[in-house]
Amino acid sequence: MTRVVALAALFALAAPATAEPLRSYNGRLFIDARIAGVATEALLDSGAEATVVDSRLAAKAHLPEGTPQTMRGSGGRASARLVEGVTVTALGVELHPEAVVVMDLSEVASRLIKHPTQAIVGRELFDAARLRVDIAGGRIDVVPRATQPSGIRLPLTGHAGIESIPVLANGRRVAAEFDLGNGSDVLISRALAKRLKLRVIGRKQGGGIGGPVMRDLVRIVSLDVAGRRFRNVTAAVDDQPNANDLNIGTSILRQFLITTDFNKRAVWLRPLRRQ
């Protein structure tokens, strides 16, 4: 979803595995979290490089002023603050990120997420724990690393702060960003759309932090992910210069039981039975 400055250093303490609710609104995933001890509902976003806190929640949690920063998102630039020393707790995991990003999330919440959003918990949680994510079942767990996950193991490859998995697009092996924060269309880079000779079939508004953008729409005839084939997949063209081949979100990933282990550089996807 959003591309923010990398803030990698963190420490985590994981509690015993227990299933917690995973709520879905308009394709976006939300979990219970605490920001500096203040309870909130947070967007779960494996594509966000840092935790983001809405300015109103930051005031409620009495976070310090922090350092002014200009953040770059898929829709442009936005003003923010970097605040150090904030404890973030989610799924029984206590995170101590180097800093969190504080900014006004009201515009992106109303335009893109279409649900009140006070916080975004990003890849720091995925770096800290092995997670089992059942989007269709509405549950998420922290699972022991010794447990053998079910499904097909896919290696992770980093690109511009987001982890990617190998997939096939029209029979060609490409990299697809694993983005649980993407609740809308598959994204495809302009370069890959040209290589696959895909025809523009329409346009649609998209974009994340920084404002809306209009994107061309194309159709991928076949998209193979972990042994499951998706046909005639509509994809929005991402014109960002650092765009990876593809970006897949919940529209595709909800068809799998997901286990993530960013520390071990892998995800496991077990296809669910078709309804």
Spatial distance between the Cα atoms of 161 and 190, rounded to a whole number of angstroms: 19
Given a cut of 50, whether residue 9 has pLDDT beyond it is no
Q: What is the average per-residue pLDDT within 138-149?
A: 93
Q: What is the pLDDT of residues 153-210, one digit of tens each?
A: 999 999 888 999 999 999 999 999 999 999 999 999 999 999 999 999 999 987 766 6
Identify the pLDDT of residue 19. Answer: 81
Q: What is the number of structural domains in the chain?
A: 2
Q: Domain check: are 99 and 178 in the same one?
A: no
Q: Domain check: are 132 and 45 in the same one?
A: yes
Spatial distance between the Cα atoms of 36 and 236, rounded to a whole number of angstroms: 37
pTM across the whole model: 0.88
Domain region containing 102: 12-142
Identify the pLDDT of residue 76. Answer: 61
Assess contact for 153 and 266: CB atoms under 8 A.
yes
Q: What is the average per-residue pLDDT within 19-42?
A: 96
Assess contact for 110 and 104: CB atoms under 8 A.
no
Q: Domain check: are 135 and 156 in the same one?
A: no
Q: Which of 123, 142, 161 is the last residue of a domain?
A: 142
Q: Domain check: are 106 and 213 in the same one?
A: no
User: Which of these, 191, 203, 201, 159, lies nearest to 178 by C-alpha position?
Assistant: 159
Torsion 10-263-223-220 (CA) sign: positive
Q: Domain check: are 167 and 253 in the same one?
A: yes
